[in-house]
Amino acid sequence: MYPNVSLFINGKWQAASSGRSIDVFDPATDEKVGTVAHADKNDLDAALAAADAGFKVWRKISAYERSKVMRKAAALLRERSEHIAPILTTEQGKPLAESHTEIQTAADIIEWFAEESRRTYGRLIPARVAGVRQVVEKEPIGPVAAFTPWNYPMGQAVRKVSAALAAGCSIVLKGPEETPGGSAELYRAFHDAGVPAGVINLVFGSPAEISEYLIPHPVIRKISFTGSTVVGKQLAALAALHMKPSTMELGGHAPVIVFDDADIEQASMLLARAKFRNAGQVCVSPTRFMVQDKVYDDFLSRFTAHARQVKVGPGLDKNSTMGAMANERRVRAVQAMVEDAARLGASIKAGGERIGTRGNFFEPTVLGEVPSSARAMNEEPFGPMALVSRFSGKDDAISEANRLPYGLAAYVYTRSPETADLMAASIESGMVSINHHGLALPETPFGGIKDSGHGSEGGTEAIEGYMVTKFVTRLNV
Ligand code: NAD
């Protein structure tokens, strides 16, 4: 049932010109389930030539027509959800229900960008001189090189491809080699919906080789990357060297501040749901929990109870509410962080261990009284791990929230409007969600500051990143 994934270049699925491929494994069973083609320089040249030609075609198609094609792709994804969800689950590990959500959300995102493409307005600036007409136009920036990771095989790709298509750009996407099926199914939907040959191209291979070739290439005009901060900094530097703008959606280490006037049961339930979604492999996952003294014990015991109710198992099993982690690297990284925190005095309230020897299963883990020197309090855990510590006053909470170089998402629970306003204004973060988990809607900005990157993957800001401004002034003679 799992497809062998090819490259998609100039409107055709094709094997790598070298014939090379990479094996794809199911993280729930460790079994090989398929292969993905490994592009080399010849394939990249073909993808670049296609994107160059595709841009010239796509930019001339009216936004109205582009929008219709995109909406059709969204409808196809919805129709195909039953077929695609097991592919996402097999390659990535997440429960089937989460795969369905990823597909439905992808369709929502495409539709929103399709609508928004018809609103990429310019403006008219009143002139100082009679007979002069000053126009600000928005034009597509050109062919885009994009790089997406394995945690949301479809969800990460869809934001970049949709924003590029809405703006009138073509794209070469390097999808995630470990989870290639999600981006391939996304491409299939766009192709079947009528996106012309060359406009969207999909490659896989050696990430560093591909990014080092695509980013400096003169055909490419914009870079978009989602992944770790360390890689993002390298790619942003390379883009800057070649004077190309970039959108960087990088790591996070989201602080969660629970005040003693919050609805503790509601907070613990919502936060546990958010924490263990996708086994914690989410850039906006709630991570550093700071709980005010008076409610610390109550919150910790309720949150721990919710964590214990999570049913870990193969994503294809309908009873599982948390699947395998996507790869062995993360299991080892999370295990090492738990051991380090425990050594430094944290108490393990739930989980803390790998489950079994087959597949990458890890227990939903809750650590209490975690000292800020623990590695997990400083590096992104990117796993099913909640780190809970206590605070007394608002200033303590703010300084802990802002202690790290990350600034992606932050969560606050309080019944006080004054406290909510103060936190929203004081936390250095691209997104702040107060009393609910309200991030990542297609129509809202999605992005970070500081080491979490720059630019947006949602809202009107996302399309802006794929457009350039042209000022035209004309004296009528
Ligand atoms: P990694 O840093 O090796 O890779 C992260 C992503 O970047 C992968 O998709 C990888 O293919 C890609 N990549 C790596 N080197 C590249 C290069 N030179 N050029 C282009 N792409 C490149 O780490 P990993 O083990 O795959 O993931 C671990 C860390 O990555 C996590 O701890 C997390 O911080 C981060 N991550 C973030 C997100 C996100 O949504 N922001 C998603 C996945 C991973």
**Secondary structure (DSSP) of 400-468:** HHTSSS--SEEEEE-S-HHHHHHHHHHS--SEEEESS-----TTS-----GGGEES-SSHHHHHHTTEE
pLDDT of residue 124: 98
Task: Identify whether residues 220 and 130 lie together within a single domain.
Answer: yes
pLDDT of residue 438: 94
Per the domain annotation, does 180 fall within a domain? yes
Q: Is 176 in the pocket of ligand 1 (CB under 6 A)?
A: yes
User: Quick one: tokens of 422?
Assistant: 């103060």
Residue 400 φ then ψ, to 5°: -70, -40
Task: Identify whether residues 177 and 281 lie together within a single domain.
Answer: no
Q: Which residue, by CA, sits nearest to atom 40 of ligand 1?
A: 283
Q: Is 227 in the pocket of ligand 1 (CB under 6 A)?
A: yes
Task: Identify whether residues 155 and 283 lie together within a single domain.
Answer: no
Distance 146 CA to ligand 1 centre (A): 13
Contact in structure between 195 and 165 (CB atoms under 8 Å): yes
Q: Is 114 in the pocket of ligand 1 (CB under 6 A)?
A: no
Task: Identify whether residues 149 and 280 lie together within a single domain.
Answer: no
Task: Identify whether residues 164 and 261 lie together within a single domain.
Answer: no
Q: What is the DSSP string of 105-146?
A: HHHHHHHHHHHHHTT---EEE--SSTTEEEEEEEEE---EEE
User: How does pLDDT run across 436-451, given as a tens digit for each residue?
Assistant: 999 999 999 999 999 9
Q: What is the DSSP string of 19-62?
A: --EEEEE-TTT--EEEEEE---HHHHHHHHHHHHHHHHHHTTS-
Task: Inform me whether the pLDDT recorded for 131 exceeds 90.
Answer: yes
Ramachandran category for residue 348: left, alpha or beta (phi over 0 → left; psi -120 to 50 → alpha):
beta
- In percent, the amount of the chain with pLDDT more than 70 equals 100
Task: Inform me whether the pLDDT recorded for 247 exceeds 90.
Answer: yes
Task: Identify whether residues 264 and 343 lie together within a single domain.
Answer: yes
- Residue 368 sits in a domain of what CATH number? 3.40.309.10
Task: Identify whether residues 438 and 463 lie together within a single domain.
Answer: no
Distance 291 CA to ligand 1 centre (A): 31
Distance 181 CA to ligand 1 centre (A): 17
User: How does residue 423 score in pLDDT terms, banded at 50, 70 and 90?
Assistant: very high
Task: Identify whether residues 275 and 200 lie together within a single domain.
Answer: no
Task: Identify whether residues 407 and 468 lie together within a single domain.
Answer: no
ipTM for the complex? 0.96
Q: Is 331 in the pocket of ligand 1 (CB under 6 A)?
A: no
Task: Identify whether residues 274 and 317 lie together within a single domain.
Answer: yes
- Kindly compute the dihedral angle of the four CA atoms of residues 58, 62, 65, 71, in this order, to the nearest 10 degrees: 70
Per the domain annotation, does 87 fall within a domain? yes
Q: Mean pLDDT across the stretch 238-242?
A: 98
The Cα–Cα gap between 202 and 214 comes to 13
Q: Which residues pair with 348 in a beta bridge?
A: 367
Residue 39 φ then ψ, to 5°: -70, 145
Q: Give 346-349 contacts, CB < 8 A, sequence gap 24+.
A: 346/370, 346/371, 346/374, 346/387, 349/300, 349/304, 349/307, 349/388
Burial state string for 399-423 with b = 16 or more CB within 10 A and e = fewer than 16: ebbbebebbbbbbbbbeeeebbebb
Task: Inform me whether the pLDDT recorded for 460 exceeds 90.
Answer: yes
Contact in structure between 448 and 146 (CB atoms under 8 Å): no
The Cα–Cα gap between 156 and 283 comes to 11
**Nearest Cα to 201, choosing from 66, 455, 12, 424?**
12
User: How does pLDDT run across 260-300, given as a tens digit for each residue?
Assistant: 999 999 999 999 999 999 999 999 999 999 999 999 999 99
Per the domain annotation, does 447 fall within a domain? no
Helix (H) or strand (E) segment spanning residue 367: strand 365-368
User: How does pLDDT run across 42-83, given as a tens digit for each residue?
Assistant: 999 999 999 999 999 999 999 999 999 999 999 999 999 999
Q: Which residue, by CA, sits nearest to atom 10 of ligand 1?
A: 149
Per the domain annotation, does 2 fall within a domain? no
Predicted TM-score (pTM) of the model is 0.98
Q: Which domain holds residue 196?
A: 7-250+452-473
Per the domain annotation, does 222 fall within a domain? yes
Q: Mean pLDDT across the stretch 163-171?
A: 98
Per the domain annotation, does 18 fall within a domain? yes
Q: Which residue, by CA, sits nearest to atom 18 of ligand 1?
A: 208
Beta-carbon count within 10 A of 108 CB:
17
Widest CA span in the chain:
80
Task: Identify whether residues 182 and 264 lie together within a single domain.
Answer: no
The total number of structural domains in the chain stands at 2
- Residue 60 sits in a domain of what CATH number? 3.40.605.10
Mutate to test the pocket of ligand 1, among 228, 246, 253, 330 (most ligand atoms within 8 A of CB): 228
Residues annotated as catalytic (active site), given as ranges: 249, 283
Q: Is 382 in the pocket of ligand 1 (CB under 6 A)?
A: yes
Task: Identify whether residues 237 and 293 lie together within a single domain.
Answer: no
Share the mean pLDDT of the chain.
Answer: 98
Q: Which residues pair with 471 in a beta bridge?
A: 136
Task: Inform me whether the pLDDT recorded for 1 exceeds 90.
Answer: no
Helix 63-79 vs helix 81-92: angle between axes, to the nearest 10 degrees? 80
User: Which atom of ligand 1 has the smallest separation from the CA of 330?
Assistant: 25
Task: Inform me whether the pLDDT recorded for 108 exceeds 90.
Answer: yes
Q: Is 250 in the pocket of ligand 1 (CB under 6 A)?
A: yes
Distance 233 CA to ligand 1 centre (A): 12
Mutate to test the pocket of ligand 1, among 231, 246, 439 (most ligand atoms within 8 A of CB): 231
Distance 69 CA to ligand 1 centre (A): 31
The Cα–Cα gap between 334 and 83 comes to 32
User: How does pLDDT run across 313-347, given as a tens digit for each residue?
Assistant: 999 999 999 999 999 999 999 999 999 999 999 99
Indicate the SS3 state at residue 335: helix
User: How does pLDDT run across 4-31, given as a tens digit for each residue?
Assistant: 999 999 999 999 999 999 999 999 999 9
Per the domain annotation, does 175 fall within a domain? yes
The Cα–Cα gap between 234 and 313 comes to 36
